[in-house]
Amino acid sequence: MTNKIGWNLDNSYTRLPQIFYTSLTPEPVEFPKLAILNERLAETLGLDAEALKGEGGVSVFAGNQIPEGASPLSQAYAGHQFGHFNMLGDGRAILLGEQITPEGERFDIQLKGPGSTPYSRGGDGRAALGPMLREYIISEAMHALGIPTTRSLAVATTGEAVIRETHLPGAVLTRIAASHLRVGTFQFAAAYGKPEELRALADYAIKRHYPDIEGDENPYLSLLREVVKRQASLIAKWQLVGFIHGVMNTDNMTISGETIDYGPCAFMNEYDPATVFSSIDTQGRYSYGNQPGIGGWNLSRFAESLLVLIDDDQEKAVELAQDVITGYPKLYTQNWLSGMRAKLGLFNEDSEDEALIQELLDLMQKQRADYTNTFRSLTLGKTEGEDLFSTPEFAKWNDKWQDRLGRQEQSKEDSQELMRNNNPSVIPRNHRVEEALAAAVERADYTVTEKLLSALSKPYAYLAEQEEYCALPVPSGVPYRTYCGT
């Protein structure tokens, strides 16, 4: 029985107007099998990890069985995809319900890849093992890095093939999120719903994510302000670790401030703001350097969707919303600068810090230096052997940095500790992720994935056993490309 596992599900989303979802059940698969289970996360959710490994748990993860208390549905939303507005929705995802943890927290339990939905747009609603494992690995690495993110509870194989460019093993990911409310959900309500339906959605988002603003004079303006704050913080965190989302459409920006939808994502090796990995981002719209600006663009679309709620006088509503949106670049820069100071061991603020940071980044770009390993080397005080560190320009910069470190009360040891806590030693290197996926897809060998996940679980620990995961890939003349998996 699935209830012995510890399911404690509520379905608050079903209490929204019917326009926002379609109730349906997953399509069963023939030979479900557990590929990987996040036991620690399961326990945090109040679930019995051992029981989840049994038939009852695997049946839920594959979509063959609905846990007690669930009311499965697919969510409707819209969104700007590469700047173009489209009606979308969960094309291959079904929300089972919201698990209430022993601490009273609420988390969406969503299956990704359990079959077609009314929003599949001609697709089969299925997912391949490789992309689902990629999301598992990257999302758990992001969590370990301290970056707000959806989580991965499990991946189950289906025993059935999905057809993409070729036949691939099918799988279903169980994703955990504070919620799946997106900027695109609000765009959908504004474009296709009635004002009272939009208001119901906004009230729901406030109650679920920002209850402190419920009593504000203008709670909808406050909602915009809070989402702007969360996204400014989130995108700065992405930039600080060299993470490239790859597909920052408005339907992939959450109201909660969590990273969502790990499709063509990857981590940057050589520092270059123009870096793009996604095979479909041919114009570089979502390049590393463009991410902060795209965040602001997406938030402007969110503001537009709220205008009718912010004020009855639309001119005044626009003025109020613009005032909030124009504050985003400053908020982002404050978050980014604060993080970069920490990466360089700086506790206090100096007017010349931004120039010092930019000078280092320019040197890294010129020397094609690895982003993560450069900061790792600075943290360890090992500035030899790399092309960057042997240049006269770096020596000059290093003198400025040492002088700047001397202009604060904290000791050298304090600075080094600050740097260790903010410069990861390991990230999900693209070649290591591909190595893990290949072992799983080609040989059903999950030990490579498990070993990688173990190394990524403590990115700031600087452990000896993590050393092999710091190594760069063998140089290749072929640029690394990532794919959506749909």
Residue type, 70: A
Residue-level pLDDT at 263? 86
Where do the domains of the chain lie? 2-177, 346-420
Phi, psi at 103, each rounded to 5°:
-85, 0
pLDDT in tens, 47-97: 999 999 999 999 999 999 999 999 999 999 999 999 999 999 999 999 999
Residue 1 predicted with pLDDT over 50: no
Phi, psi at 59, each rounded to 5°:
-60, -40
Residue-level pLDDT at 440? 97
Residue-level pLDDT at 480? 66
Residue 482 predicted with pLDDT over 90: no
Greatest CA separation found in the chain? Answer: 68
Q: Which of 90, 108, 251, 281 is catalytic?
A: 251
Share above pLDDT 70 across residues of the chain, in percent, rounded to a whole number: 97
Average pLDDT over residues 295-318: 98
pLDDT band per the 50, 70, 90 thresholds, residue 2: low
Q: What is the residue-averaged pLDDT of the chain?
A: 95
User: Which residue bears the tokens 């980044």?
Assistant: 361
pLDDT in tens, 116-168: 999 998 889 999 999 999 999 999 999 999 999 999 999 999 999 898 778 89
pLDDT in tens, 6-30: 999 999 999 999 999 999 999 999 9
Residue-level pLDDT at 483? 66
pLDDT band per the 50, 70, 90 thresholds, residue 484: low
Q: In sequence order, which residues have a C-beta less than 8 Å from that of residue 440 and are 6 or more positions away?
A: 35, 129, 130, 133, 446, 448, 449
Output the six-digit token pair for 347: 């506790």
Query: Distance between CA 454 and CA 173 in Å, rounded?
Result: 19
Q: In sequence order, which residues have a C-beta less than 8 Å from that of residue 293 and are 6 or more positions away?
A: none
Residue 477 predicted with pLDDT over 90: no
Residue-level pLDDT at 384? 81
Share above pLDDT 90 across residues of the chain, in percent, rounded to a whole number: 91
Residue-level pLDDT at 209? 98
pLDDT band per the 50, 70, 90 thresholds, residue 282: confident
pLDDT in tens, 228-276: 999 999 999 999 999 999 999 999 999 999 999 998 999 999 999 999 9
Average pLDDT over residues 292-318: 98
Reply yes or no on whether 251 is catalytic.
yes
Looking at the chain, how many residues does it have?
486
pLDDT in tens, 176-221: 999 999 999 999 999 999 999 999 999 999 999 999 999 999 999 9
pLDDT band per the 50, 70, 90 thresholds, residue 486: low
Q: In sequence order, what are the beta bridge partners of 267?
A: 243
- The burial class, CB within 10 Å (0-12 / 13-18 / 19+), for 485 is buried
Query: Distance between CA 77 and CA 422 in Å, rounded?
Result: 36
**Predicted structure pTM score:** 0.96
